[in-house]
A and B are shown apart, each in its own frame.
Chain A
Amino acid sequence: MNVPIMSDLAAEGRKPEILFWVGCAGSFDARAQRVTKALATILTNVEIDFAILGNEESCTGDPARRAGNEFVFQMSALQNIEMLNMYEVKKIVTACPHCFNTLKNEYPALGGNYEVIHHTQLLQELIDEGKLKVEGGSFKGKKITYHDSCYLGRVNGEYMAPRKVLEALDGDLVELKRCKTKGLCCGAGGAQMFKEDEPGDKRINTERTEDILASDATIVAANCPFCLTMLQDGIKAVEKQDDIMVYDLAELIVTNNQW
């Protein structure tokens, strides 16, 4: 697919309105790549002037910082900030709540000040403004549940935007037993994604899968590439992968609009 790259635009003397921050998972993880493509498809279809950094993008440093490695975090973050400032980036959208949080809340102290929004917030805005039409009703009557990621929900207080997007899809939204401020983590945050669990009774995604099974939903909507992986693994572990599908909100919109 044809996605504008920041450096190409800069060479033509152009500045996009918004930078799409893809993130490591969105760039490299096969499952998360599908979300990246879905969001790029939406941005293209609603004719938003956007670009990605491409190979000039680096990890925001979130997992390194939360693991305690401030050196690695600072190295990656300061490089990114230098680049973002060079391109005079004003607004960033990202489909990863960890990137979102670090860009929004942690980069300012290092000299990086941008307006940062999570893609679910952008989707809600676009729907509200009438720029993104959600038509077709592919999800009408389907039982959809929503998993709050910690870094969009509890950490940044965004519970409503993704739910409003889901309402626009016209599905039958059911809440999980633990949701919003009490939403249960998928188990990946704080750099857990990159290491084995400590000894315990079960994995955190197994515990979360039990909430999903209890909701009777056939579709789980998520907003984070790491939650996607964790929830899918949890569902697979109980062999329900054919009955319960986990999607990012952007994917649901693309499917619905048959783009």
Chain B
Amino acid sequence: MGLGQIIFIIITFAAFYLAYKQFSKLRANIFLGKPETTEGDESQRWKNVFLVAFGQKKMFKNLIPAVFHFFIYAAFLLTQVELVEILIDGIFGVHRFFAPYLGGLYTFLINFIEVLSVLAFVATIVFLARRNLLKIPRFVKSEMNGWPKLDANLILFGELALLIGIFSMNGADVALQKLDPAHYPDTGYLAISSTFSPFIFDGLPEGVLVVIERFGWWLHILTVYVFLNYLPKSKHLHIMFAFPNVYYAKLKSRGEMENMPEIMNEVKSMMGLAPEAEMTDEIPEFGANDVFDLSWKNILGAYSCTECGRCTAQCPANITGKKLSPRKIMMDIRDRVTEVSKNLETGDVKFINEEKRKEGTVLTKDNYDDGKSLFDYITREEIHACTTCNACVEACPIMIDPLEPILKMRRYEILTESAGPADWTPMFTAIENGGAVWQLADDRDAWTKE
């Protein structure tokens, strides 16, 4: 076994192991949220996965970015085929393992990858320009300052590195096939590499070509490994999580807010419609003031969000200059989950709620209290500005629901804290006492008597 193989196997193992650790952490973080069952037609869920996630149906409401995004997406999917070969080559110390076996099909596949890679290259440049030169409004909102902006650019640069890797690998290979056919099996004519290779690589010494080919090969695979481990920290996670997020997305009507059976039953017993509910000593908490009170599906949504801002661009509150941005809601949930997860990992007793902090108590999500909440990330002003118009829900290409967490936070504010906009109090009182949204002396059918 050659030194290259040993290094490759060690790096591969390390990359997958680290990624596995990180993804396990993400899974645990998602399940910091409350359990929520998945109801409804399973075939509809798979249909959504096929059309919306795999087929990117909702992306095509906005044609130009959809087409460029599709180039990168298709290149990404197809390059996975090549990665299988890279893994085999790397582990067994062979070169282009599939080439002799697949023959014409191999040429077709590599050509397909090459063409898509050029399109992806163009798309990446276009995307860099849209973000940094054209400054498309949804990319330059205040929540994008700092890390989110850098994150987006790093991903695009990573993609460029991948593509440079592919073409230096293939281009040098074409030249080497002519010099050393025994070691470099014929790939057939490659639409891109065979065309540009003679101009750049012909006439270079074989040793230099080997170095360039290896450089491309390693650059490609190392970028993939870096990406794999970068994903859990990045908005780019959508390339994986979009699929489960679409699968688990709500199927029932958008118009139905989640019912609260505990309150329904209490009201029913007050009205004499149901037996009296059992009283418990604990003060009940309703709605959400932290990630533990959200559904795990809300947290999955936060991790799936790629911060494209289509939701925010459609939000009537945001359009008219209010602080609310549905994208920021999802970003804040993710940041808060990350913070909570880091603190939980330390096991430090200082994060245990003071009342529950006894000798030997172990820090868990049930006794966690760092003195902060989602309200430290999402201000009340933001959640109050929402008109529940569902434009954000409609806009999200991967079926994230930013509205649900907003409404859960409103419920916490009103039901648990008895706070919220003072303007609403007369409306609540009017409904409670008079059955109408306004306090009025008139009869409800007065209009019939005019």
Q: Which residues of A contact B (CB under 8 A)?
A: 1-3, 5, 22, 24-25, 27-28, 33, 36-37, 40, 52-55, 57-59, 61, 63-72, 74-76, 78-79, 82, 101-102, 104-106, 109-110, 150-151, 154-156, 181-182, 184-185, 187-204, 206-207
Docked complex: B358-402 residues within 8 A CB-CB of A = 381, 384-391, 393-394
* Interchain CB contact under 8 A, A55 and B387: no
Task: Give CA–CA (A19, B388) in the complex, Å.
Answer: 27
* Interchain CB contact under 8 A, B387 and A64: no
Q: Note all chain A residues with C-beta closer than 8 A to B256.
A: 105-106, 109
Q: Note all chain B residues with C-beta closer than 8 A to A203.
A: 320
- Which residue of the partner chain A has the closest CB to B265? A74
Task: Give CA–CA (A188, B389) in the complex, Å.
Answer: 9
Interface 1/0 per residue, B248-283 and A, CB below 8 Å: 000001111101100110011011010000000000
* Shortest Cβ gap from A201 to chain B (Å): 3
Does B443 sit within 8 A of A, measured CB to CB?
Answer: yes
Given A182-B314, A190-B387, 4 more A-B residue pairs with CB atoms under 8 Å apart are A27-B436, A55-B443, A150-B388, A182-B394
- Which residue of the partner chain B has the closest CB to A184? B316
Please judge, given known A-B contacts A64-B427, A106-B256, A181-B394, whether A76 and B435 are in contact too, CB under 8 Å: yes
Task: Give CA–CA (A65, B448) in the complex, Å.
Answer: 29
* Interchain CB contact under 8 A, B287 and A68: yes
Interchain CB contact (< 8 A) of A189 among B389, B421, B431: B389
- Which residue of the partner chain B has the closest CB to A52? B445
* Interchain CB contact under 8 A, A199 and B322: yes
Q: Note all chain B residues with C-beta closer than 8 A to A154.
A: 254, 389-391, 393-394
* Interchain CB contact under 8 A, B431 and A57: no
Interface 1/0 per residue, B421-450 and A, CB below 8 Å: 101101110011001111010111111101
Interchain CB contact (< 8 A) of A66 among B323, B385, B407, B432: B407
Task: Give CA–CA (A200, B254) in the complex, Å.
Answer: 27
Q: Note all chain B residues with C-beta closer than 8 A to A202.
A: 320-321
Task: Give CA–CA (A78, B260) in the complex, Å.
Answer: 13
* Shortest Cβ gap from A95 to chain B (Å): 12
Interchain CB contact (< 8 A) of A71 among B267, B407, B423: B267
* Interchain CB contact under 8 A, A191 and B390: no
* Interchain CB contact under 8 A, B387 and A105: no
Q: Note all chain B residues with C-beta closer than 8 A to A22.
A: 444
- Which residue of the partner chain B has the closest CB to A66? B388
* Interchain CB contact under 8 A, A74 and B264: yes
- Which residue of the partner chain A has the closest CB to B403? A190
Does B413 sit within 8 A of A, measured CB to CB?
Answer: yes
* Interchain CB contact under 8 A, A204 and B255: no
Q: Which residues of B contact A (CB under 8 A)?
A: 61, 253-257, 259-260, 263-264, 267-268, 270-271, 273, 286-287, 314, 316-317, 319-324, 381, 384-391, 393-394, 407, 410-415, 420-421, 423-424, 426-428, 431-432, 435-438, 440, 442-448, 450
- Which residue of the partner chain A has the closest CB to B418? A69
Q: Note all chain B residues with C-beta closer than 8 A to A61.
A: 431
Task: Give CA–CA (A195, B424) in the complex, Å.
Answer: 6
Q: Note all chain A residues with C-beta closer than 8 A to B271.
A: 75, 78-79, 82
Interchain CB contact (< 8 A) of A105 among B255, B319, B320, B444: B255
* Interchain CB contact under 8 A, A204 and B320: yes
* Interchain CB contact under 8 A, A194 and B388: no
List 23 interface pairs A-B (beta carbons < 8 Å), by A numbering.
A3-B448, A27-B446, A28-B444, A33-B447, A37-B447, A52-B445, A53-B444, A64-B431, A66-B410, A68-B412, A69-B415, A74-B267, A74-B268, A105-B255, A109-B259, A154-B390, A189-B387, A191-B427, A194-B426, A196-B421, A199-B381, A200-B385, A202-B320
* Interchain CB contact under 8 A, B316 and A67: no
- Which residue of the partner chain B has the closest CB to A59? B431
- Which residue of the partner chain A has the closest CB to B430? A59
* Interchain CB contact under 8 A, B445 and A5: yes
Interchain CB contact (< 8 A) of B257 among A66, A150, A184, A207: A66
* Interchain CB contact under 8 A, A189 and B424: no
* Interchain CB contact under 8 A, B267 and A59: no
Q: Note all chain A residues with C-beta closer than 8 A to B381.
A: 198-199
* Interchain CB contact under 8 A, A72 and B431: yes
* Shortest Cβ gap from B329 to chain A (Å): 14
* Interchain CB contact under 8 A, A185 and B423: no
* Shortest Cβ gap from A138 to chain B (Å): 24
* Interchain CB contact under 8 A, A150 and B320: no
* Shortest Cβ gap from B286 to chain A (Å): 7
* Shortest Cβ gap from B162 to chain A (Å): 35
Q: Note all chain B residues with C-beta closer than 8 A to A190.
A: 386-389
Task: Give CA–CA (A207, B314) in the complex, Å.
Answer: 12
Q: Note all chain B residues with C-beta closer than 8 A to A182.
A: 314, 391, 394
Central interface residue in B267, B426, B447, by most chain A CB within 10 Å: B447
* Interchain CB contact under 8 A, A198 and B257: no
Q: Note all chain B residues with C-beta closer than 8 A to A72.
A: 428, 431-432
* Interchain CB contact under 8 A, A76 and B431: yes
Task: Give CA–CA (A34, B391) in the complex, Å.
Answer: 30
- Which residue of the partner chain A has the closest CB to B426? A194
Q: Note all chain B residues with C-beta closer than 8 A to A55.
A: 443-445
